[in-house]
Amino acid sequence: MKKFISFLYNRLIQRVIAHSMSIDRIEDERKVKHVIYTTVFTAIGAFAFVPVHLFGAQSWLAALCNAVCGFLSIIILVDLWMRGRLKQSVWFTVILTSLLVIIVFWALQGEYQISAYLVIPAGFAFLLLGGKQGSAYSVCYFLVILTIMLTHLGSWPMFNQSYVALLNLLGAIALSLFWGYIGEYIRGGSFQELEVIADSDSLTSAINRRSFFAHLQGLKQQATAERMTFAMMIIDIDYFKSVNDTYGHDSGDRVLVDVVKLVKGTVRSGDIVGRIGGEEFALLLPNLTRIEAFSSASRLCKRVQRHEFTSTDGARISLTISIGVTVITPDKDMMTPEDIYRSADSQLYRAKRSGRNRISIDSR
């Protein structure tokens, strides 16, 4: 079973990444794991309870519901395998587990301790949908359960003697919703903090190389789908080694931090700024034409050239940058993220060969 799950996971995550525009691969991987485990064990449990409900509880409806849900669980996995549509698979998984529990609960009229399963879908909702969507879904789920209980308050055996059973059941479901929300809230906050740390360059607070290329992959997919133009720039600080040799590495680090601040203060709020090497930075600028990209690069060069950098002992440092620019238009949708990076990188070296403090932009 473990090898089967591992094989299934590796195959599905490849399909999801190939079809997804999300840049959050870690979150996608987490959701794929949850979908696999939830659907596989839902199918196993559903099929296992078919004879139990058919012969033990003598409810053909509950048995039929289990069989149908078992097959639907398999279909969800097949659809994810074939199409890689993670978002739809997540929602189908949550809805399927809820329908299974609700229909069986209704078919058995709350007997055979079936009500114990009512708390499960809320947990799945928070696990797969997150805090906000999980909360909204769980409230709707709770209202459906409440409606069923109130409708059959006087007719079902578990409710016709006392309101205590009803109150206990509703209380258990409400508490499961509450603790599910609290757990997801804490987990989500911790995860976001770890994600920021993992994606950021510890010195400059720009995103790191891994995160930058994840953004590039996502932007490329978005541009292909929407026929959008975007630009990528690679910035290199001219003669940065001499700064370290003359003023020390602490001053060099200070310069790197200041350069990132200048770049972020010059580009638009939605543009992506990353550090991809020692003194090399890269930018992603969506919805930018070739002329606009060159103009933006010119502003960056002038801003850095006019800025007075200082060393740790207060000495003034004059700096310039060179920028390589590539603009991706809809007719270049065959270019891979690696091709885009190589194009911008070749333009950077062209700029540096032409004398530094230069901009080189692709001519295509």
Which residues are catalytically annotated? 279
Residue 231: name the closest of 351, 168, 100, 323 by CA: 323
| CA angle (235, 332, 348) in 5-degree steps | 20
Q: 325 - beta bridge partners?
A: 233, 361
Instruction: Indicate the SS3 state at residue 154.
Output: coil
Token code pair at residue 36:
């696999």
DSSP character at residue 56: I
The Cα–Cα gap between 126 and 129 comes to 5
The Cα–Cα gap between 200 and 208 comes to 5
The Cα–Cα gap between 96 and 40 comes to 12
Q: How far is CA 31 from the centre of its chain?
A: 9
CB of 96 closer than 8 Å to CB of 69: yes
* Strand 272-275 versus strand 280-286 pairing type: antiparallel
The Cα–Cα gap between 187 and 181 comes to 10
Distances (CA, A) of 53 to 46, 100, 111: 10, 13, 11
CA count, 13 A, side-chain hemisphere, 186 = 5
CB of 359 closer than 8 Å to CB of 291: no
Residue 235: name the closest of 217, 260, 258 by CA: 260
